[in-house]
């Protein structure tokens, strides 16, 4: 028996090696057959239809309408078009196709910030697989997701598409998502590599960052995702880093990404990024998207005059073909047009409810009693925002508002008030100005004003008030302070009126935050009895929110970013969004033009909680925080040394009376030595299963010495200095429940330095 297995294993290995060899040979052969024009058509995409911008005569034929990118088909080598589509909250394509009765609506899943708030990598992988299934059945080969830039500042317009202010959360979530999508035979593109941390002048801004901060904060998540999940592609970012466009940096795209981390796929630009196609080729930015004529011409003349070698061009083509020959299109898969939308709807609801965060819950206000008459206030209770705008938007078939969800969950809602809002919204919508630009944020109906008399009347006839505050944001714009980070006057006034009217009658007020990014909460939170951070929860919004409100689901989401008292409390506020130079705007296409600008990341590694904890700045809600309808006890911390690191275990017990899940966080508090260290840094996390009252779960974390190291720029090495390190296990960065010290002798990891290395 054993022998048969051995023979089978040998044959399998030999077969595999042969397949690899054949593949390589095939790709070399494919390249040999190509003309220069065809070669250029492999490294430059076919272009992009921009509604209202691209003239009718220049519209390209799209294999999948609405997909952000297509590659050229080259029939002589049997290479079909590869289809690339956004994005992080669902497959972004046009739902209708010419001469086709079928519809191609995709599931709008919760935004990335909500998904990260689940801290559940298994759930993330399951969601990723659903994205993979929809991509596959709708004809998309490579999904332009996940996006994992760091929440450097709370006002960044695209934070909703990103996971966290912490690189370990970002990297682990991205890796799980990539594994899920790619398990369906669909590729991913982890983006935007790297330091695309603002929308203001995003295509021109020069981000000035120390090498230590780059490596420990901004690159770390990408490093984790590449090493753990090997995404098929990486999308380089628009911005410059220390003077050079990210898409033109050999050190980043070749030395670090491939040399140090072992990335095996290809790199593509973000849409219209950079200013030098030849430099992009040389840096190892294999594919230029969506592709413009000027880039084709530049590459052609550089090959002709010898300033770009054919070896480099062929190397880039080889990397692209290596992936293209693995796509479903290449393999001849016929998309059915029928992904499992029904199951995905359920999954979207489940995922949303797992990432909703209970921020406050005085006197067990929640879960609410379904039979008590509830007054639903706020436009967003009826027009619930399911996601952000721009390329992170999704064309979904249906969506459930909080009001509709409350009906589905059989809550007792004050209909009179509901009708007043529905009528107000209907009229408000009729008066909204039309969209001027295809990527412009959606216009929203402004909040309704209330008088004290009106509110008192409603408070008299209802038991509870639920007030929803909505915010949207998206690509092209960072958020503002007034009427965005801060509540506007109408919102503040409504909270005050509701608080007074309901509290004076011994009744309660619940505030729901239907937002994509952090807002100010410190000045008004005491007026509410419970606050639920629902994020933008995807198409099943209303169902998921009411699942949590009614206690069908016990909240278990926790913050992956800090909610500050004032946004200026973030160290990065001193340099956000940087300064713009008085120079003419530049860019590859008119609507992407921006003035040259620069931003200094003077805070270094002190981003988010690393700053708040180290410099003892008070927060409104700290990183890692979130309440539950039950309570947990932490015990039995054990630390064992094992080769190359440590094994850490602890036990979590549900000590309350409701089943619930806990997000357990492992932090390291390192000694101060040559390198300044934050008070503590997250190194690992785990979400428990659903623990019944009294039930326990023992969790084991694995920690390597490399995980404890910081980047020492002068020594060009990752170093964990000699000293005592505290392993801290907690329920948030400010609630450490268990601690044990370990003594470490200096650990050094020196990355191999590749040619042309010049990150600083």
Residues that bind ligand BGC (CB under 6 A): 68, 86-87, 144, 191, 270-271, 391, 475
CB of 272 to ligand BGC, least distance (A): 8
Q: Tokens 């209770």 label which residue?
A: 381
Pair of tokens at residue 334: 């016929």
The C-alpha atoms of residue 511 and residue 358 are separated, in whole angstroms, by 10
CB of 191 to ligand BGC, least distance (A): 6
Q: Which of 424, 403, 407, 409 is nearest to 467 (CA)?
A: 403
| 469 three-class SS | strand
Residues 6+ apart with CB under 8 A from 21: none
Task: List Cα–Cα distances, 30 to 34, 199, 580, in angstroms.
Answer: 7, 40, 46
| 194 three-class SS | coil
Q: Tokens 């064309």 label which residue?
A: 395
Answer for the pair 719, 747: CB distance below 8 angstroms, yes or no.
yes
Work out whether the CA dihedral 198, 203, 208, 210 comes out positive or negative. positive
**Where do runs of H (alpha helix) occur along 162-274?**
167-182, 211-213, 220-229, 250
Question: In this structure, what are the phi and psi dihedrals at residue 601, rounded to the nearest 5 degrees?
Answer: -85, 65
Question: In this structure, what are the phi and psi dihedrals at residue 110, rounded to the nearest 5 degrees?
Answer: -60, 155
Answer for the pair 324, 330: CB distance below 8 angstroms, yes or no.
yes
Find the catalytic residue in 141, 270, 360, 393.
Answer: 270
Looking at the Cβ atoms of 30 and 186, the one nearer to ligand BGC is 186
Element (H, E) at 303: helix 293-305
Element (H, E) at 710: strand 710-712
Pair of tokens at residue 497: 């009126």
Looking at the Cβ atoms of 425 and 439, the one nearer to ligand BGC is 439
Looking at the Cβ atoms of 590 and 752, the one nearer to ligand BGC is 590
Answer for the pair 87, 144: CB distance below 8 angstroms, yes or no.
yes
Q: Which of 473, 480, 485 is nearest to 523 (CA)?
A: 485
Looking at the Cβ atoms of 86 and 120, the one nearer to ligand BGC is 86
> Pairing relation of β-strands 266-268 and 357-361?
unpaired
What is the side-by-side order of every strand in the sheet holding 747-749?
Answer: 710-712, 717-720, 747-749
Radius of gyration of the chain (CA): 26
Looking at the Cβ atoms of 86 and 134, the one nearer to ligand BGC is 86
CB of 270 to ligand BGC, least distance (A): 5
Pair of tokens at residue 498: 């509701």
DSSP string over 601-651: -TTTT--THHHHHHTT--EEE-TT--B-SS-EEEEEEEEEEETTEEEEEEE
CB of 327 to ligand BGC, least distance (A): 18
Looking at the Cβ atoms of 164 and 546, the one nearer to ligand BGC is 164
CB of 144 to ligand BGC, least distance (A): 4
CB of 189 to ligand BGC, least distance (A): 7
Looking at the Cβ atoms of 271 and 467, the one nearer to ligand BGC is 271
CB of 288 to ligand BGC, least distance (A): 13
Looking at the Cβ atoms of 290 and 339, the one nearer to ligand BGC is 290
Nearest residue to ligand BGC on Cβ basis: 68
CB of 269 to ligand BGC, least distance (A): 10
Looking at the Cβ atoms of 447 and 475, the one nearer to ligand BGC is 475
| 376 three-class SS | strand
CB of 68 to ligand BGC, least distance (A): 3
Looking at the Cβ atoms of 198 and 468, the one nearer to ligand BGC is 198
Answer for the pair 380, 468: CB distance below 8 angstroms, yes or no.
yes
The C-alpha atoms of residue 108 and residue 606 are separated, in whole angstroms, by 34
Q: Tokens 């992904």 label which residue?
A: 339
Q: Which of 301, 519, 304, 479 is nearest to 389 (CA)?
A: 479
Neighbours of 756 (CB within 10 A): 12
Pair of tokens at residue 360: 């406050």
Q: Give exposure, 156-182, as e/b (b: 16+ Cβ within 10 Å).
A: bbbbbbbbbbbbbbbbbbbbbbbbbbb
Question: How many residues appear in the chain?
Answer: 760
Instruction: Report the Cα 271 to chain-centroid distance in Å.
Output: 18
Instruction: Report the Cα 626 to chain-centroid distance in Å.
Output: 19
141 classed as catalytic: no
| 243 three-class SS | coil
Looking at the Cβ atoms of 30 and 67, the one nearer to ligand BGC is 67
CB of 94 to ligand BGC, least distance (A): 13
Answer for the pair 514, 470: CB distance below 8 angstroms, yes or no.
yes
Looking at the Cβ atoms of 146 and 730, the one nearer to ligand BGC is 146
Looking at the Cβ atoms of 236 and 665, the one nearer to ligand BGC is 236
CB of 475 to ligand BGC, least distance (A): 6
Q: Which residues are catalytic?
A: 270
């Amino acid at each position: 028996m054993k022998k048969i297995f051995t023979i089978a294993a040998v044959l399998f290995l030999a077969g595999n090696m042969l397949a690899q060899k054949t593949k390589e040979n095939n790709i070399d052969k494919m390249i040999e057959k190509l003309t220069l024009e065809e070669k250029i058509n492999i490294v430059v995409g076919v272009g992009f239809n921009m509604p209202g911008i691209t003239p009718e005569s220049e519209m390209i034929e799209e294999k999948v309408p609405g997909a952000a990118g297509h590659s050229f088909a080259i029939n002589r080598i049997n290479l079909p078009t590869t289809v690339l589509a956004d994005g992080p909250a669902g497959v972004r394509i046009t739902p209708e196709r010419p001469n086709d009765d079928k519809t191609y609506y995709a599931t709008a899943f919760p935004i990335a910030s909500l998904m990260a708030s689940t801290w559940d990598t298994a759930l993330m992988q399951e969601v990723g697989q659903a994205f993979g299934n929809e991509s596959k059945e709708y004809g998309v080969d490579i999904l332009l997701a996940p996006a994992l830039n760091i929440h450097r500042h709370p006002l960044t317009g695209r934070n909703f598409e990103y996971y966290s202010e912490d690189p370990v959360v970002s990297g682990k979530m991205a890796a799980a998502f990539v594994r899920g999508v790619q398990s369906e035979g669909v590729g991913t593109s982890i983006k935007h590599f790297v330091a695309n941390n603002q929308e203001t002048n995003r295509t021109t801004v020069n981000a000035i960052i120390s090498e230590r901060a780059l490596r420990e904060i901004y690159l770390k998540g990408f490093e984790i995702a590449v090493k753990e999940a090997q995404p098929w592609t990486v999308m380089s970012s628009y911005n410059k880093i220390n003077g050079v466009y990210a898409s033109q940096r050999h050190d980043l795209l070749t030395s670090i990404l491939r040399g140090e981390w072992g990335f095996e796929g290809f790199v593509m630009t973000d849409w219209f990024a950079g200013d030098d196609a030849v430099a992009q080729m040389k840096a190892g930015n294999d594919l230029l998207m969506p592709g413009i004529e000027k880039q084709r011409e530049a590459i052609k003349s550089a090959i002709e005059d010898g300033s770009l070698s054919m070896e480099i061009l062929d190397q880039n083509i080889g990397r692209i073909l290596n992936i293209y020959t693995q796509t479903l299109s290449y393999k001849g898969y016929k998309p059915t047009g029928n992904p499992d939308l029904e199951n995905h709807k359920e999954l979207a609801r489940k995922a949303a409810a797992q990432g909703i965060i209970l921020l406050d819950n005085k006197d067990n206000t929640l879960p609410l009693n379904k039979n008590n008459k509830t007054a639903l206030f706020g436009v967003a209770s009826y027009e619930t925002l399911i996601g952000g705008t721009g390329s992170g938007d999704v064309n979904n078939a249906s969506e459930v508002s909080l009001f509709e969800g409350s009906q589905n969950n059989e809550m007792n809602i004050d209909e009179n008030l509901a009708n007043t809002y529905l009528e107000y919204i209907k009229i408000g919508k009729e008066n909204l100005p039309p969209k001027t630009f295809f990527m412009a944020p959606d216009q929203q109906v402004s909040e309704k004003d209330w008088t004290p008399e009106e509110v008192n009347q409603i408070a008299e006839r209802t038991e509870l008030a639920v007030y929803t505050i909505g915010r949207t944001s998206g690509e092209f714009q960072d958020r503002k302070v007034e009427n965005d980070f801060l509540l506007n006057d109408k919102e503040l006034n409504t909270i005050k009126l509701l608080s007074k009217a309901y509290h004076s009658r011994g009744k309660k007020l619940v505030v729901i935050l239907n937002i994509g990014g952090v807002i100010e909460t410190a000045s008004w939170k005491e007026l509410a009895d419970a606050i639920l951070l629902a994020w933008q929860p995807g198409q099943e919004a209303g169902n998921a929110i009411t699942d949590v409100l009614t206690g069908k689901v016990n909240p278990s989401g926790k913050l992956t970013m800090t909610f500050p008292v004032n946004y200026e409390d973030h160290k990065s506020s001193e340099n956000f969004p940087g300064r713009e130079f008085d120079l003419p705007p530049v860019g590859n296409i008119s609507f992407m033009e921006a003035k040259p600008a620069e931003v200094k990341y003077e805070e270094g590694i002190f981003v988010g909680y690393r700053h708040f904890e180290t410099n003892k700045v008070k927060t409104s809600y700290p990183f890692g925080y979130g309440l539950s309808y039950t309570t947990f006890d932490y015990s039995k911390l054990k630390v064992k040394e094992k080769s190359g690191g440590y094994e850490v275990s602890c036990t979590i017990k549900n000590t309350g009376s409701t089943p619930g899940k806990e997000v357990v966080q492992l932090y390291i508090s390192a000694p101060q030595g040559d390198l300044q260290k934050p008070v503590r840094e997250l190194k690992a996390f785990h979400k428990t299963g659903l623990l019944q009252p009294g039930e326990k779960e023992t969790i084991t974390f694995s920690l390597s010495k490399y995980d404890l190291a910081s980047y020492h720029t002068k020594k060009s090495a990752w170093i964990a200095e000699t000293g005592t390190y505290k392993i801290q296990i907690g329920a948030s960065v400010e609630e450490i429940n268990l601690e044990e010290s370990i003594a470490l002798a200096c650990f050094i990891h020196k990355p191999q330095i590749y040619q042309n290395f010049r990150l600083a």
